[in-house]
Each structure stands twice: as structure tokens, then as C-alpha cells.
Amino acid sequence: MRRMHIQNVEPGMMLGKTLYGDNYEVLLNTGVVLTEDYINRLKNRGFIKVYIDDEETADVVIKDPISDKIRIMATKDILKTYELTQSAIVNIEADTAESIIKSINTPKIKNAFQESQPFKQMCKDINSFVDELMNENILSGLNSIRSFDNYTFEHSVDTAVLSIIIAKKLFFNKDKLRQIAIGEFLHDIGKIFIDEKIINKPGKLTAEEYEQVKQHPAYGYELLKDIDNIGEASRHIPYQHHERQDGKGYPRGLRGNNKIDDSSSVGYTEQDKFIMIAEIAAIADVYDACISDRPYRKGLSPDFVYELIKSGSGTQFNRELVDCFLGVMPKYPVGSEVRIKNGIYKDFTGVVISLNIQQLSKPKVKLLCDAKKNKIKPFEIDLSSDSTMDMECIC
């Protein structure tokens, strides 16, 4: 199986992973042979990448860290929690941050959120979500193919997956992992109090609009702050996920110490330091947001975003946590189409077929086309045995 840009998909190719619509109805099942009509309809629905099963990559197994069933369950819990809370704010007239915070703290909104069935269901379902991730120690990539309308909810699920895999490496207990899951599921819920036109604006935000967006962590915190049984991390992930190590983040300009020193505690040690769980969330949030396709732009390639996180180490992100991230997330996800950049196979293209656990960034690749884009008899190369070979993702 391989991930392919929809522009390169041709009639006759076989779908490798089921595609779902906005309400999680099955659009096309695994194994369906794509026709021109299907491909056009997928393009019209905004799908940019799909998984394709073909003979050349039949041996490539792309493992999703969570099952479709759990993924859909979690995404629906988030979607419904957002919807119900949103329905309580339709007639609220508040335009300043202070007045919005005041209205979040009214019983009408608090109850619509806390007492809602979907939120209660989410708190229950979180157990099976965390359980499924207990056996995963590394990711082969974040593989979800998303429908655009549900970006926020699917982004929330994938940031939870990545954060939990990192936190597991740091030996967080199951209760903390549950708190992380709830916090990540709801990390952007504060955005419902901001004008949708600003949130979905494709172009650059004005300074005034950006100031409004920067309030969403505080709004999310206000909504969650007095729920007893969800734990401290759950509310501080929404509050702190845009903070930075160098104090230049928002909303409070907290600082980090670039160390893993807080794995047993989620409480504050210093007033102005942000908590480690939120430092993990900050990495997961940027990684997933950057690789995601949006209606107005294709996602950045995973290898590029991997380097982006690395370059933010120490300033934007906790240095020791970035090292931890690099130990669980491969630079080139399994199933990615890649192009060799140097050496005797320069400009040959192929697919990442498996990871080397010792050297996650040096996977095995099956080359399928030569530099002139002609199909060749496929053969495998192992990047871990050639330290000079360099490549890039092309999908």
C-alpha cells in the first residue's frame, strides 16, 4: 500500500483504506477499484491524498495506531461536544475577551458543556482510546485521510495519538494518559467562541483578528477549569498548548526549561513555567497542523515538518521533548512516496516500505521508477546501510 496524491491516481487503481464522509458514513471501501467518476468525486470532495493498494507495494503495511472504529468513535464524541456547546452560545452577545470569559462562566454555557451527553460519553470512551494505544511505542506516521469539514476534530484525535505515544515513552501512568487524551480532544474548543470567519480564513489574519485567535486557549481553559473529575492536565493542555520555551508564546508568555523534569507531576512547580504535558501538546499540535491538508493548501511534507520541529528545539519546543518526539515519529512515514536526492540513484522515486527501529529516519525504500520516470524492476535499498544517501517525501 502507498499514499498517493489524488492527481496521480488513475482509473483501475485499488483503494487501500476506506474513505469516510463528513458524517463518517463509508464513501468508498477498501478494495474498491477506482473509476474516473469516483476519482473526480473524491477531488470534488476535497480529498488530496488516498491510499492505494498495488502489486508493487503489496508488502507495505501501513499500521494505523488506532482502529477505524475507535478513531470514528473519538472523532464523533468531539464533534458532538463541540456542536452542543456551540448551540448554547448562539444568542450570546459578547465581543471583548472579558465579556466572552464572563459568558463562558454562566450556567447556560457551563451546563451545556459539562452536562452534555457527548462530553460524558467522551470521558467514558477515552478508556478504550488509551487502551488501544498501550501497545504502540512508535508511529509509522500520522496516517489519517481527512474530510475537510471535520478538520478540527480529526486534528484533535491525531494530536492526542502523538502526545500519548510521547508521554508513554516518559512512563506516564494510565490516568495521566487519559487526562492527556481529554485535554487534546478539547485543546481547541475555545475557538467556538471566536467568529468562524476568522477561524476559517484562508489568508493572513489582520493583527486584530490574530489577537482574537490568541484568546482561544484561555476560553478553552475557562470552559474546563471547574470540572472535578477530568484532572489538571485536561484543562492545562487547552490553556498552554501555544506557549513556547522562550516565553514568546500565548496567551500568558509562560517559559520552559528545556528539560524533562516533571514526568510525575502535572502541577506547577514555578508560577511562570508551563507544564510538561502541555509542552508535549505544543509539539503534537504543530506537527499535525502542518502536515494536514486544508482546503486552501496542501499539507507540508512530513520530512519538512519533522525538520521544522527539530529547528524549533530549544526556542519554541522543549529540547529534551523534541528528542523524545524524534524517537517515536519517523522522518519519512511508511507508505510515503519519496525521491532520492543524491548518489547513484539520484532522482529515482519509490515508496518507504518499513522502518529501522534503531534508526527511524533511515528506512527501507523500494525504488519503482528511474530518474527519467520510467518504471523499473522494483528493488529495495536500506538507508541505514548508506549514511550519505538523502531523500525527500513527494506526497
- Give the footprint of Fe ion on this chain (CB under 5 A): 188, 285
| Element (DSSP H or E) covering residue 160 | helix 151-169
Q: How far apart are CA 305 and CA 179, in angstroms?
A: 26
Reference 338, options 16, 33, 46, 57; nearest CA is: 57
Cβ 160 to Fe ion shortest distance, Å: 11
> Which of 218/368 has CB closer to Fe ion?
218
Grid cell locating 185: 480532544
Minimal distance, residue 365 CB to Fe ion, in Å: 32
The residue (of 186 and 338) whose beta carbon lies closer to Fe ion is 186
Helices (runs of H) and strands (runs of E) counted in the chain: 14, 10
Nearer to Fe ion, 129 or 153 (CB): 153
| Closer residue to Fe ion in complex, CB, 188/222 | 188
Shortest distance, position 193 Cβ to Fe ion, whole Å: 13
Cβ(48)–Cβ(298) below 8 Å: yes
The residue among 222 and 285 lying less far from Fe ion, judged by its C-beta, is 285
User: In terms of CB distance, is 188 or 293 closer to Fe ion?
Assistant: 188
DSSP of 67-123: -HHHHHHHHHHHHHHHHHHHHTTTT----SHHHHHHHHTSHHHHHHHHT-HHHHHHH
CB of 286 to Fe ion, least distance (A): 8
Least distance to Fe ion, CB of residue 190, Å: 8
Smallest distance from the beta carbon of 290 to Fe ion, in angstroms?
A: 11
> What cell numbers appear for 353 in the block?
516500505
Q: Which residues contact 45 (CB under 8 A, 6 or more apart)?
A: 21, 27, 147
